[in-house]
Structure 1
Amino acid sequence: MCPQPAVSSAAFLIADPTRATMLMALADGHARPAGELAYAAGVTAQTASSHLSKLLAGGLLLVQTQGRHRYYRLAGSHVALALENLASIAPVPAGGMVRRMPRSREARDLQFARCCYDHLAGGLGVAITQALQDRALVVATDDKQFDVTPAGVEWFNSMGLDMAGLKPTRRGLARQCLDWTERRHHLAGPLGVAFMTQLCAKGWVRRLKNSRAVQVTPKGWAGLKEQLGVDEREVQASV
């Protein structure tokens, strides 16, 4: 009998609301102490410790010790990808209509622009990816990848990326990542990571310290408008 992947064990760990909250709090790629994760999940330190032990044993988290402090992070981008993909799964409501509770400021900020572990997601990430496709800088393929065109290689190089130095993973150089708030794809993979890093280096976007939300600077909006035609008001209106 062929062994089966341990889907049920990982699903069991993620399914618990407290553990899911902790995992999503780490989905920006940063490491955080148990106390911060306990606060995010609204549980006691003892309860948080029990959940974190299970997540460590299940291979979803890694822990780093510095002195007396222990910092937890996701075991890798594959865990963040699984979380994002699971979050994008939702039943289609009958009649196509659904009542929604008013969103909090934090929820609006995350939908507008956020880190998906190490690349840009949310309405902004989707808008940028669409602009790249509209300008034929990247082309979507049937295997959930993006092919970078010669014009795209030239453009990314002009933005400060070293395209010749980027190494594809087993999932390729540029991957389509389904955005869980927008239900459309944004740019992921090594190219998505390098592009996000460069946007930060250019001072176009800022990653917030204690949130997955990403802020766009005035310089960034001007650059995105000039380079890709991405307009702040249009992105705000779409989310």
Structure 2
Amino acid sequence: MSKSIAVSQQSQQLHNDVQEAVKSIMGATQLKAADYGRVLRSALAASQKIVTIEIAPGDLTLLKKSGYKLCFAKKVGDADYNVVWQSYDAYLSNNEFSWTPQYQLFASNLFKANVQVKVSTNIVNIGLGQTSTLDEHGLLSSAVTGGPNISMTFVNDYGPIHPGINQLSTGIDGNQVSTPIYVAVDQVVTGETVLTPVETILVWFEQNVQTSTMFSTSRSKAIEIDLTFDNTAGRLYEGGQWKTV
């Protein structure tokens, strides 16, 4: 599945979810197109998280000359960060990175540090408070309502496998893509696995690393940014150190 198709499908799913939620509140009354558009824009604006990364001139020059990339990772549950959500080499003095709670579920046969995620199953759109089942043939079902409201539930009827999550982000280049934020380090066996995205990200600079690369060790000179109770945050990298702005 191409990235553009995946983003389009996630956007359509969000439209459907908002429409159904509002219809439920209003007693199944169909929204007018203009009203629906306003509700959707409000919902997206309220849920969007934005991080601005500033880099001092001297540090920018040094980082670029040394081939460092600006990297982001996102936390899921209590697990350590383990996938490079996005990495960029075309960063500048001011960089804006944002995301919305639009997710996809998949599973992989492998977790291995320093290699890119290899999706082994089909990919399905899923939201918080929804469940998808991996059947005995290894096919993920369409998501249905079920499970904790702040989590996604992966029901495994297949066998040992690593569940994973994609999330939609808007990069510093302005492009929207849906890429992995998490792959379970250990295989899960049959039964339910609850996956809870956390609005905390890790930001760092690293050489020779690609988007969707799995890792199992701490990142050098990384900063953790918690947006659980905020929608925006800013950090400055200056003199080799991170500062809040």
* TM bracket (short chain): under 0.3
